Amino acid sequence: MKNWKLEREADGGIAWAILDTADSSTNTLGAEVMNELGQILDECEKNPPKGLIFKSAKAAGFIAGANIEEFTSADTPEKARVLIQRGWDTYNRLAAVKFPTLALVRGHCMGGGTELALACRYRIAVDEPGTKFALPEVMLGIVPGWGGMLRLPQIIGPAAALDMMLTGKNIDAKRAKKMGLADECVPPRVMENAARMLVLSGQPPRQAQLPFMQKLMNGPLKGLVASGAKKQVAKRARQEHYPAPWAIIDQWQNHGGNTLAVPAGEPTSLDALIRHPTTRNLIRVFFLQDRLKGFGKDAKSFAPQRVHVVGAGVMGGDIAAWCVLRGMTVTLQDQSVERIAPAVGRAAKFLEKKLRDKKLARFALDRLIADPKGDGVRQADVIIEAIFENLAAKQALFADIEARAKPEAVIASNTSSLKLADIAATFKDPARLVGIHFFNPVAMMPLVEVVAGERTSPEAAQKAAAFVRKIDKLPLPVKDAPGFLVNAVLGPYMHEAMKCVDEGIAPEAIDAALAAFGMPMGPIELADTVGLDVAVHAGRQLVGDADPPRKLVELFEAGKLGKKSGQGFYTWVDGKAQKSGVGAGNTANPELAQRMLKPLLDATQRLVREGIVADAELADAGVIFGTGFAPYTGGPMNYRANRG
């Protein structure tokens, strides 16, 4: 076989099915791989082993899922049915074999990989940071069609299973063991022996151990569970925009988790999903994300380990905490230890929440070092300035940094409004300065703009992009211009929204119209969240309006700065905007939404035309991952093109 090896141990007891997808850095489940899996089952049925263990030969992980290129070529319902039928039949056959089977999962286990693991009697998760289980099909506008909707609820219970399938969230090794998705969670050094012992143990499979109430929820109480799931989905996704979550609930509740059993005329059928424009657009977004991940690969020899961040405010402190979470050693500089302490405190809470282990969080926090004198500059591979937006202050700081930094170190600014060319004007070697522009909140926003100034060297930009990928963010190359891409499109959008407030339109109605369109947050709430002082400054920089929105100026001059002060366009209590009933409920207002969107679409088109971002695809990727622009549209340029 080209992609699998079937190895039997010397005593003939246990067989190992080892996947090593040919001509690929990751294991994917294309037609050839699935056909060879059928051959493995043929061989094992002829000569049954005492147990069959699946594992990966790839360092990258277990299985990344189905072959997406192959799926995109299945562009008709008929072709898609063939693809789904093949996986459904093969995994049903695997689930029915008489001998025990086990999936030894080390590294990522996604989509069809998780469905293969679910079809096995047992699962072992290897306790490493990279081990993740997920059924992320919903993110592509499709459903887990190879048995995931059938088996996952039987193994971990329907509520937890629906949560996984409807969000596409990753589950790490420890969490997988705790929720029953994995039978064991073991360190790498004992994983193969643990697999042997479990597969020969004769323990009952997980679905046989499911509590009685969970079994009822998979049976007579299905309707109640489905009703609750629909209410939760309705809060996040309108069915006309995102049909896949609704299809998952319906197919689990009414069709035994078998997407092939849904009549073609139903809105939750495979045929309807394949024909829906959201599916095409979400698959497009998947490939756009992959393109962003590709930036930085040219700097393969650059392997940063030490980061120095200057500025321990919210932005600098959160950048430092994120770098620590991703394994970096970080020195954090500010004028005194007292100024650094709050950032360290926030980092401690953040790491404990993310790592879900106090001991691991303490070990990680040890890599965050308060450094008021800036001694870490000399050892740093990456230096990030995140101080207040003052040109003279930044130039003075960088003069000291450039004199002390290693020749090969990346020197970067997180500036959002100043031109890199102006900051670099006092550099001895201005080619060294690059922009690494994070978005707030750092932990939630996947995009980081990598800004090339007029004199930034290609090598510096490549190293910066490599660093961004190293910390598991998406780098977007942009040129040095006011607002770069993301803020330059948000500025006119928010400005138009605030002009609407001046005209007497309620902020709640504006935000509701954009939420109905699919934005994660309305523009008025967004302005309050980032701060009305920031909005005033950005308006001057990005819109150049001699007549700024009256209400914005009024609130700013009264010191009402939004969420940070407790009062802005909204009153804020416990971090939440207090909204009146205006605009509440299902109040889609397409005309109002389009008025707000037009400046954003126009700005995106202009930035592509001016070459601030290389092409329309990258503009779509940047605006989706940098602003949350409704993914079902495929991005602003794609949306504009499809609307003519």
Catalytic center residues: 416, 437, 449, 487
Half-sphere exposure of 454 (CA within 13 A, CB side): 7
Contacts of residue 499, defined as CB under 8 A and 6 or more positions apart, other chains included, come to 549
Instruction: Identify residue 383 by its one-letter amino acid code.
Output: I
Q: Environment class of residue 184 by beta-carbon count within 10 Å: exposed (0-12), middle (13-18) or buried (19+)?
A: buried
Neighbours of 239 (CB within 10 A): 15
Evaluate the omega torsion of the peptide bond into residue 441 and state whether it is cis, within 30 degrees of 0: yes
Residue 61 and residue 28: Cα distance in Å, rounded?
11
Q: What is the dihedral of CA 609, 614, 620, 622, to 10 degrees?
A: -120
Contacts of residue 447, defined as CB under 8 A and 6 or more positions apart, other chains included, come to 292, 439, 473, 474, 476, 486, 622, 625, 626
Q: Is the dihedral of CA 205, 210, 212, 218 positive or negative?
A: negative
As beta bridge partners, residue 433 has 411
Residue 559 and residue 124: Cα distance in Å, rounded?
56
> Are the C-beta atoms of residues 149 and 248 closer than 8 Å to each other?
yes
Q: What angle do CA 636, 278, 107 make, to 5 degrees?
A: 100
Task: Give Dmax over CA atoms of the chain in angstroms.
Answer: 84
Instruction: Identify residue 259 by its one-letter amino acid code.
Output: T
> Are the C-beta atoms of residues 601 and 639 closer than 8 Å to each other?
yes
Buried-exposed string 570-584: b where 16+ CB fall within 10 A, e elsewhere: bebeeeebebeeebe
As beta bridge partners, residue 478 has 451
CA 444 to centroid of chain Cα atoms? 8
Polymer length in residues for the chain:
644
Q: Which two tokens stand for residue 331?
A: 């020195």
**Secondary structure letter of residue 221 according to DSSP:** T
DSSP letters spanning 291-356: HHHHTTGGGTT----EEEEE--SHHHHHHHHHHHHTT-EEEEE-S-HHHHHHHHHHHHHHHHHHH-
Tokens 């910390």 label which residue?
471
Residue of 157, 150, 62, 158 lying closest to 110 (CA atoms): 62
